[in-house]
Copies of this chain bind each other. A is one copy, B any other.
C-alpha cells in the first residue's frame, strides 16, 4: 500500500505526476492519492478580491487565516478545480479515480480551533471566527470500500469538525493519518523542493537518509511546511508505516525517481 501526497505548489506538474501514478497503479500497486491546492487557492482568492492572509500561531507554525468566505474559496479550489482536474488527469490515463474531500463519508474528522491566538507584529491577538483545525482521525471504511472495488481514492482537505462543519486542515497530516490507518508500506510526499536540505535552499545539501533515532535533530533543521512533514514522518513511523519519503514533485517520473532511484529524503 502506497500513499502519495502531492503538494499544492504551482511548480508541480499534474501531467508528470499523473503519468507516474498511472504506471504505479497499472503495476498492481494499491494507491491512495492525497493532494493540496495552496498556491492555486492564493491565486483565486486574489482574483476574487479576498486576498490570502497567513498568521503565525503559538506553535510557531504559519497557517491560512480562514474566515467563512476563505473557507468557501478553499472548497472551490481544493475540492472543485484541483481535485477534479486530478481525477480527470488520472481518468485520461485509464485510472478509475474517485475524488473525495474529508467531508465526504466523514472521511477525515478534526477539531475546529474556533479561537486562535496569532501574532500581529509583536502582539498576540485572538481571532474568533476562524475555520481551521487539526486532523484527529481518518475513517478508512469508504477508502477501503473503494480500493476493494478497484477505484483509486483521490483525497483533499477540508476535514469535517466534530460539529459537522468544514474546516481547513493540513493535507500532509491527512496523508500521514491515512498511511497509519492503512498501515502503508510507504508514505511519499512530493513537493516543490528536492527533499530535506541541510542548508535551504541549497539542493546540494540534500539529506538522503534519516534513521528513526535521528529524526528529532532533523526536526530542528527543518522550517515551515518541511518541519510539519518531518514531524508527521516521526509519528507515522512510530505507528507502523514502513518508510516516509520526501521528494521532488517538479520532475518527470517523480514517483519512480523517489521510490526506485532513491531520490529525495528517505526516513525510516
Contacts and interface: CB of A to CB of B under 8 A. Distances in A.
Contact of A48 (B47, B75, B160): B47
Contacts of A77: 76, 80
Total copies of this chain within the assembly: 2
Interface string A73-84: 001111111011
Given A48-B47, A76-B44, A145-B145, A87 B99 contact: no
A200 to B, nearest CB: 33
A105 interface: yes
Given A91-B164, A92-B164, A151-B105, A72 B79 contact: no
A220 interface: no
| Chain A interface bracket (under 10, 10 to 19, 20 to 34, 35 or more) | 35 or more
A49 B44 CA distance: 11
Interface of A: 44, 47-49, 72, 75-81, 83-85, 87-88, 91-92, 96-101, 103-106, 141-142, 145-146, 149, 151, 158, 160, 163-166
Contacts of A80: 75-81, 83-84
A47 B76 CA distance: 14
Given A76-B81, A81-B75, A105 B101 contact: no
Contacts of A141: 149
Contacts of A99: 79, 100-101, 103-104
Contacts of A149: 141-142, 145
A171 to B, nearest CB: 15
A225 to B, nearest CB: 23
